[in-house]
Structure 1
């Protein structure tokens, strides 16, 4: 959703639609005609649009920041757990750990050169990237706007900050706090979003591998299964791509450790983390008010 004080020209809406379609054709693992689906079928050389190089580079830096915990190669594990193109919500037996970056990608400068077929999933930062691309188009027509991609936002409201509620991870009708933001981005990640009961099968549709299991989309690539210590994160950063990726990184790596590598992040960020045991960690920022 794009909010502006005045209506945008039709050409802007058309440009936004075209750009989102382009991103989908390149990066969606849910459509058979995407580049990502072709990469899953066979290794090869796959050109990267100049605009998309930043996303690939950011994934490589996230991979380094988190010692491989934020990985684009969780796609197969997600599909095997039932979060696949048909949303079967059925997991197969024997979900394997995810391959290492060097096992799949030989190089990623200007093109992705892959050594083997693998399902890429860019969900950890891809939505933020798409929101940034939309914001870039909108900014050509107005200085004051909000681009809201299901709660992940780029905000540009001048001197009037926007109050953004932080959804309670156990009760979406409540908030654990609010953030005031007049510029930049805020992105969230939570284990109660894109969560499902993955009914067990043996891979042929027979339900014979034990009890149903609770799954969500934040996968530990070392095990191929969900991570459970952290239940929700929020990050405020200059861009949505940065905020989105760091919100996922905080499920695996403490904020203090992430901040030790400014060379990989390239910008300051603020954060809120809610853990499974109920504890909350947050930046000392006057624009963040928590109801604790």
Structure 2
């Protein structure tokens, strides 16, 4: 993050976070930020038994989520349709069977499962989720980005005009000077394939080498088959909100960026398993040769 800024680091939703600001955050604001993180985790985590999402997995019914559920549901639904069902919040059962379960066992307990059809088990209307059967909801493809945006909103309510929020690689920067962000090499985490000058935008990445285990297993699953995607190995998306950038970084595993740009305002880079790459004409990054 920018040199000379103060960092507030903490653990949240299973990973490390860092908020950088020109001046240290006061204790009251830090307390509010951590309370927001705890509330978000208690609502959306499938890794804790007391969460609202875990309640959906135990019994069908009508569940009221916080206000952010409306935008999250609308985005998921649009990408569910844009990807032909490949990207879905109902991928949880296959993630669990392949080993990415609540205990982080990373040991498959069965074969991959296609996700259930959205309209067959779930009605997502605004912030109300109604299920006709127990469902394992997983909003990991956009949830971390959403939390970045919620934390940024708290910073702005407190009057901060410059800040950088880093949700373990989901980045949102605001301020007078751009922040240089390296694009991690998908096959060597100690190297970069390029750099982005991030200014008043969000940058999110998704990669098959992150949260990977076993024999070729990783967390980006195709909802139509329940199996890990093999074509793309890393993606980056830049957008106006971190939730959108986060979701589109996953959608790029299933749909070409040029096709997604017909419906969404963002720029993108995709690296494929054969070593080739494609990116939008307006992609803000510089790729190394």
Q: Give the TM-score normalised by structure 1.
A: 0.90
Contact 2:257–2:279 (CA under 8 A) maintained in structure 1: no
**1:131 lines up with 2:128 in the alignment:** no
Task: Pick which of 133-142 and 71-80 moved more.
Answer: 133-142
Match of 1:225 in 2: 227
Over 3 Å counting, the alpha-carbon distance change for 1:28 and 1:286 in structure 2 is closer
Match of 1:16 in 2: 33
Match of 2:197 in 1: 180
Measured after TM superposition, the shift of residue 15 of structure 1 is: 1.0
**1:281 lines up with 2:283 in the alignment:** no
Match of 2:167 in 1: 149
**1:93 lines up with 2:105 in the alignment:** no
Match of 1:62 in 2: 79
Match of 2:12 in 1: none
Deviations 1:121-174 (A, max 9, x none): 10000000001011111122310110001111010022x111110000000100
Any idea what SS the aligned residue of 2:91 has? helix
Any idea what SS the aligned residue of 1:73 has? coil
The CA distance in 2 between the partners of 1:123 and 1:251, in whole Å, is: 15
Measured after TM superposition, the shift of residue 260 of structure 1 is: 2.1
Gaps of at least 5 residues in structure 1 are: 198-212
The CA distance in 1 between the partners of 2:124 and 2:164, in whole Å, is: 36
Output the aligned Cα RMSD.
1.2
Gaps of at least 5 residues in structure 2 are: 1-17
Over 3 Å counting, the alpha-carbon distance change for 1:57 and 1:171 in structure 2 is same
Match of 1:30 in 2: 47
Return structure 1 stretches of 4+ with deviation > 4 angstroms. none
Q: Give the TM-score normalised by structure 2.
A: 0.91
Match of 1:2 in 2: 19
Match of 2:8 in 1: none
Match of 1:195 in 2: 212
Contact 2:271–2:278 (CA under 8 A) maintained in structure 1: yes
The CA distance in 1 between the partners of 2:48 and 2:127, in whole Å, is: 23
